[in-house]
Chain A
Amino acid sequence: MSENFEPNVVAFLCNWCSYAGADLAGTSRIEYPPNLNVIRVMCSGRVNPMFVVNALQQGADGVLVSGCHPGDCHYMEGNFLARRRFALMRELLNFVGVDERRFNMSWVSASEGAKWKDVVTGVVNNLQEAGPFTEFPRKKIDW
């Protein structure tokens, strides 16, 4: 893919860790790619796997779900439950032919501004390589 392609990434960040981590990256003036559309959720466990499918349908080129490190969940076990779900959803998406780079999950704590930068940079670079998502966005359908 051309270097110019700017992927549209939808990021679901948990309120307690990853959102704060991203915030810290901002307040610390750490520069990272601006391709993210952040949606704050209370917990990574709140992210319904259908959100990912819906994001891809609505024009996202990739999705990132980020939560607290295992054991740090504000609700004790939300991220553990999310981990199981997305381990399966990721395989299912891949099985129907969605490039595995399009779905990403990370653990970023409130103090990991630098890690947040690495995660986002990695995801965006990968998606630049993968190119636009053309398999089943709604817009491709003539309506």
Chain B
Amino acid sequence: MLDLDKLRALAKETISRDDIKYLIGWRQGTYGFRTSPHFVGNLEDAEQLIFSPLCSSNLATYLTLAEKRPVPRGAQPDTRRVAIMVKGCDSRAVVQQLVEQGIKRESVYVIGCPCEGIIDRRKLEEKVPHTLERVEARWENGKIILDLPAGRAAFPRDEIVAGKCLTCRYPNPVIADVTVGEDVEVRGSAGFEDINWLEVKNAQERWAFWRDKVNSCIRCYSCRNVCPMCYCAECILDKLNPAWIQRSVNVSENTAFQLARAFHLAGRCIECGECERVCPVEIPLSHLNRKLVKEVSEQFAFTPGIDPEAKPLLAGYRPNDREAFIL
């Protein structure tokens, strides 16, 4: 169990350092089961910091999302480090960003938070609808304890955690300058049961499945924006000349959009499941990513976001890569 006082003390100590610009963590949200990314710039902010099974956001996104304002003439750019709290999956995003040189190691200070699984708000709201009061949650002996308005409730972990947590093989941060709490047991399997059921269907059935899902896409781009690996200065989806993907919203363009998004994460997706969590129309986006994770692992024995010294998968090759599909 995590001691919040210790976490906050660590945060205060961290942001008091001269070489830290601010700390990115989580705070309780405005209602119910929500939490929100929290930017800690002073000691007061640190008091609101939390880490609980409700802390769903992958904060690594903010390392690359932060807007760089022009430095006034004569002033020195602020080169202080950004401190960031990461769960296991989030830490893989940091590593992958380092691999791709999206960020520099000396510009981040990583606070690792071993994680026993994050609550899927949709699953929880099915069991406990209409909760306005802020709810706190914690892990305890393999269960998730919630302080609901009606009283304390314990839920078996596997019933309410996100799908990504059921298959998670890296609950402990793979990179950290300092760790809060103790390492947790790895429970996820290396298998791909979550997508096997779809793979065994025939092509028509698979298309029927995806057509239905893709058809409901509203192109809000939240899946792209929330993704810690989507940090191109100009995204292919935004380009107009040439327009790789038209702005019109229909099955054709939506499919192209989702294929582009998934493919651009091939060998890069660190399975944080944020795309799926934020999708307002509940498209099972991580199925696409998991399919590629599976292929990358089986064909190239590669797992992204583990080794900061690794080379990006698609920027390299082996002469004996599998080529059974080539005529």
Write the residues of chain A forming the contact surface with B, with a CB cutoff of 8 angstroms: 49-50, 53-54, 57, 70-71, 77, 80-81, 83-100, 104-107, 119, 122-123, 135-138, 140-141, 143
Give chain B residues whose Cβ lies under 8 Å from the Cβ of A141.
248, 250-252
Beta-carbon contact of B327 and A97 below 8 Å? no
Given contacts A83-B317, A83-B326, A96-B206, A91 and B291 within 8 Å (CB-CB): yes
Quick check: A123 and B327 within 8 Å, CB to CB? yes
Which residues of chain B from 276 to 314 have any CB-CB distance to chain A below 8 Å in the complex? 288, 291-292, 295-296, 299-300, 313-314
Query: Which DSSP category, helix, strand, loop or mixed, fits chain A's interface?
Result: helix
A70 touches B319 (CB 8 A): yes
Considering the chains assembled together, what is the distance between the CA atoms of A136 and B208 in angstroms? 12
Cβ-defined contact, B325 with A87, below 8 A: yes
Residues of B within 8 A of A (CB): 198-199, 203-211, 236, 244, 246, 248, 250-253, 255-256, 258-260, 262-263, 266-267, 288, 291-292, 295-296, 299-300, 313-315, 317, 319, 321-323, 325-327
Residues of the B chain whose Cβ atoms lie less than 8 Å from the Cβ of A71: 319
Q: Interface SS of chain B: helix, strand, loop or mixed?
A: helix
In the complex, A137→B211 CA distance in Å? 13
Once the chains are docked, how many angstroms separate the CA of A57 from the CA of B244? 11
Given known A-B contacts A87-B295, A87-B322, A123-B327, A97 and B263 have beta carbons under 8 A apart = no
Known contacts A54-B244, A91-B295, A97-B210; decide if A136 and B263 are in contact (CB<8 Å).
no
> Are A96 and B210 interface neighbours, CB within 8 A?
yes
User: What is the number of contacts between chain A and chain B, taking CB atoms within 8 Å?
Assistant: 123
6 cross-chain CB contacts under 8 A: A49-B263, A88-B267, A95-B198, A97-B211, A107-B326, A136-B256
- Which of B209, B210, B319, B327 meets A105, CB within 8 Å? B327
Whether A80 touches B327, Cβ cut-off 8 Å, given contacts A88-B296, A91-B291, A91-B292, is no
Whether A96 contacts B259 in the complex (CB less than 8 A), given A50-B244, A91-B292, comes out as: yes
Task: Tell me the bound Cα distance from A98 to B295 in angstroms.
Answer: 17
Are A92 and B252 also in contact (CB < 8 A) when A50-B244, A80-B321 are?
no
Contact A84-B259, Cβ < 8 Å, known A91-B292, A122-B327: no
